[in-house]
């Protein structure tokens, strides 16, 4: 007999785990010193969220990007998004892992969507303003910038799931019988 069902109680553990991955990705993106952007050909210029460096081998001259207002806005938005994400992660652990508190799940989804808005704005402002600041050559966005987008995409998916899980309260609590996709007679 082949039985395949959807086990909603697994969401109780998977969603906080996904939010933990989003927190880790966000911390990597914010703390990365190797840069969000680097020069394509010469590898003589790179910039992180905090500073830009020019040079070769071990002879680098670094200047802070925080003297520009747009860079201050990017840093503030990314950090605010990270703080909101950490709050949502803590609330989700309490709501899903310790006790099952279904009415708070849409609030967690709302927090995640607010954090997504902050981070999308920051992740769009950075390349636009950086390209206005630097005119020469072509630049590639590195893995650190990609981790910022990865965290944002995870937050979007978890936000949707947190908003939808309220409909499946009986499944989460174990009161509803599991519906199987296929049953043999």
pLDDT tens digit sequence for 53-107: 888 777 888 888 888 899 899 999 999 999 999 999 999 988 887 777 778 888 9
- Reported pTM: 0.82
Report the C-alpha gap between 123 and 167 in whole angstroms.
33
pLDDT for res 117: 97
Report the C-alpha gap between 48 and 66 in whole angstroms.
11
**Residue 168 in this model has a pLDDT that exceeds 70:** no
- Cα 4 to chain centroid distance, Å, stands at 31
- Cα 143 to chain centroid distance, Å, stands at 14
Report the C-alpha gap between 107 and 84 in whole angstroms.
12
Domain-by-domain residue ranges, the chain?
A: 13-26+68-173
**Residue 9's pLDDT band (boundaries 50, 70, 90)?**
low
């Amino acid at each position: 007999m082949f039985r395949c069902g959807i086990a909603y109680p697994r969401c109780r553990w998977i969603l906080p785990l996904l939010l933990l991955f989003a927190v880790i990705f966000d911390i990597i993106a914010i703390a990365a010193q190797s840069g969000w952007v680097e020069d394509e050909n010469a590898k003589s210029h790179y910039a992180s969220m905090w500073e830009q460096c020019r040079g070769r081998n071990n002879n680098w001259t670094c200047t802070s990007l925080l003297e520009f207002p747009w860079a201050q806005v990017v840093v503030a938005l990314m950090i605010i998004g990270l703080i909101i994400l950490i709050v949502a992660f803590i609330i989700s652990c309490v709501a899903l892992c310790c006790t099952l508190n279904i009415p708070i799940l849409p609030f967690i989804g709302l927090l995640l969507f607010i954090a997504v808005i902050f981070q999308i704005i920051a992740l769009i402002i950075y390349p636009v303003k950086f390209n206005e600041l630097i005119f020469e050559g072509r630049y590639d966005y590195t893995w650190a910038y990609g981790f910022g987008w990865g965290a944002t995409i995870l937050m979007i998916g978890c936000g949707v799931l947190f908003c939808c899980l309220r409909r499946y309260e009986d499944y989460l609590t174990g009161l509803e019988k599991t519906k199987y996709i296929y049953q043999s007679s």
